[in-house]
Every structure is written in structure tokens, then in C-alpha cells.
Amino acid sequence: MMNATVHFIVPDSVDDDERVSGGNVYDRRLTGALRVRGLDVRLVPVAEGRVNDVALALSVLPRNALVLVDGLIAVAASRVLRAHSARLRIVVLAHMVASALPVMHDDKRTAERERESLHAARRVITTSEWTRSELVARAYVEPERIAVAHPGTDAVPAASGSRSGGRLLCVGAVAPHKGQDMLVEALAGMTDLPDWSCSIVGSLDVDREFAARTTATIRSTGLTERVELTGVLTGRRLADAYQAADLVVVPSRAESYGMVVAEALARGIPVVAARVGGVPEAIAGSRAAILTPPDDPVALRAVLRRWSEDPGWRAGLGAEALRSRTVTRAWDETAWIVATVLSEVGPESAVIGSEGLGVR
């Protein structure tokens, strides 16, 4: 597979820090790791919903070109993928089950497009076993056509945290499926406890109405001195947020994997997370993670109160998190799985110029 050319159709937000997402991070890191392995990966950014742009991008590729398509683009452009499925060697990278997201109001139509896009693909790559099992259970794709390539993590220093253990961190776009409203509700019942604060890190623009409601709840419950919506943090600022954290909270209503969980555990930070989707896979057997029922702020509050009130339990989880830091997956392993799938799809694609494709 060395020197093979792969045309990777990705959202145009892939490098936009203001629209950062787990899927975009995965696409970027996968691209870099595939290039290290010798593949000529040509990114083709496409705006969400611009089906005509996908059609143009695919139409100028030569017959038998090898094309990797981000699932977000694939579902929206399912008919385009079907039209090119015989001419091109298409592989879909499914970060999630789109029709399973709580935010999908037209789930029947989304399900039809999702099924069509996956049928147009020679192979499908998912980022978790949970996503794979969901796609199979919904009869969207045959199990033998699916490979799982979990997200990787980097070797990073252990977080320093604080003496009090009261620094809570929640990372993810502020949106209903990430459940920050439940976290705020849980924290509203902890105002009697001292020495805790919570930073909610993530875009406030994905669902501005939800972000505004969450902000209003923080204000009305008297949490403005303790709970901060920071907006997007990247690079050193995000690393510093993790470095300062004592506990990472993942209150999601839907999560295909849970990259934040893996990132926290790689830094030796204990985690409390909702038991949804692929989150148990991200935990990877670590006993430093506590799972709570989804959409249950009362259960979440009970865990957070114990974390605050029981220093012995807190210390035990912290020690276990540090002990199990090495239980991580590298991005090179992710790239190896993806490269293997691409090599099985067919021969090396012809190399063409980038004019008109927006390749970079």
C-alpha cells in the first residue's frame, strides 16, 4: 500500500478550531499517520450539505480512484456515492450512527440515506465496536464489510491536578447530545460543598440556543462563580486545562466512542461518564472510570458528591488512573488498520492533479 493515493473527502471544518469535533480530530490525526506510513493522502474539504460539491469532487477522479469518505459527508451525499460506486473504490469512515443521534428529527430519512451511503461503499470503517454492532443490527451493512479502527491517544505527561481534588473538567461542543445541561443540573445540587469548580470547554456555536439555555441555568442556580463556559480551547490551552483537572466528566446522551475519556485516562485523570455508545470501549478496562446511567443528573450528582466528600475514594481512583495510563492505543495502530482496509479494496489509484478539487 506504500505510495498509494487516497482521496479523503472531509468536512471543510476539519482544520477549523472554532468547529472542533472528535470526528475532525480523528480525520486530521488519521491523515497524518497514514502519510507517515507512506500513503499520498489528498484532503478534499467539502462544506456540510453541499452535495453538488461532493458530486464535482468525485466526478473528476479517474476510474478506480481510491476514495475515503467521512461519514458526515457520505450520509448527506448518499445518492452521489451510489452513482459513483461502480466507477470508484469508495470506503466510508463512519464516526457514528447518524440516524441514532438524539438531534436527528428526520431519523427515518437519515436512516435511508445512511443505509444507501454504506451500500455504496466497498468497505466501511467504524471508530468503535459499538458503532459496528449498531450498523449491523440496523441492517445498514454486512458485518464482513466492516473494520474497526479505534481512535488513538498520544503519550502525554500525567496531569498535576490540585490538592483539593475539586477541579472538574467537561470537554465537548456545548450541545444537547453532549449533556452539559445534565451536568449543570447535577452541580446545582452541590452548592453546599466547598472547594470545587467546573470548566466546560467546547464550542458555544454548534447549538447556540442550547448554549444560551445552559448559560441561563448556570446563572439562575447561582453557579456563575463555580462553573465556567470557556468556549473552544485548543493546543496548549486545552492541554493546560487537562493538566489542571482532577476529574473529567462526560455526561453525554450519545457517544460513538468517547475520545475525551481516552484522553483523560491517558493523562492519569479519573473519569465519570454516562454509559452510552462506545464509552465502555474508551475506558479500555481502566478501573479509574465510573459509569452512570445516561440522562440521569441525580445519579451523576451522587458520584460527584462522593468524589468531593470521600478523599480516600478519590485518592484510590487517582492512583488507579495513574497506574493504568499505559492502557492506550497509538494513532499508528489506527492508521495500520485503515491502511490495511484500503489495500484490500483494490490496486493503487492513478495520481491526478489537484486542480478543481480543492486538494491540500
Report pLDDT for 2.
55
**Domain 167-323, CATH:** 3.40.50.2000
Give yes or no on whether 5-152+330-345 and 167-323 have one common fold: yes
Report pLDDT for 3.
64
The C-alpha angle with vertex 355 and arms to 354 and 359, in degrees rounded to 5, equals: 40
Report pLDDT for 109.
85
Report pLDDT for 353.
34
Domains of the chain by residue range: 5-152+330-345, 167-323
Report pLDDT for 103.
56
Report pLDDT for 327.
55
Report pLDDT for 98.
81
Burial class for 151, CB neighbours closer than 10 Å (0-12, 13-18, 19+): buried
Burial class for 356, CB neighbours closer than 10 Å (0-12, 13-18, 19+): exposed
Extract the C-alpha cell encoding 320: 488507579
CATH class of 5-152+330-345: alpha beta
Helical (H) or strand (E) element with 201: strand 197-201
Polymer length in residues for the chain: 360
Report pLDDT for 357.
36
Report pLDDT for 348.
42
Report pLDDT for 284.
83
The one-digit pLDDT tens for each residue of the chain (360 residues) are: 556 899 999 998 877 766 778 888 999 999 999 999 999 999 999 987 789 999 999 999 999 999 999 999 999 999 999 999 999 999 999 999 987 776 544 478 888 999 999 999 999 999 999 999 999 999 999 999 999 999 999 889 999 999 899 999 999 999 999 999 999 999 999 999 999 999 999 999 989 999 999 999 999 999 999 999 999 998 899 999 999 999 999 999 999 999 999 999 999 999 999 999 999 999 988 899 999 999 999 999 999 999 999 999 999 999 999 998 865 689 999 999 999 999 999 654 332 333 333 333
Give the residue carrying C-alpha cell 445552559.
Answer: 214
Report pLDDT for 155.
86
Report pLDDT for 60.
95
Question: Residue 238 in 3-state DSSP?
Answer: helix
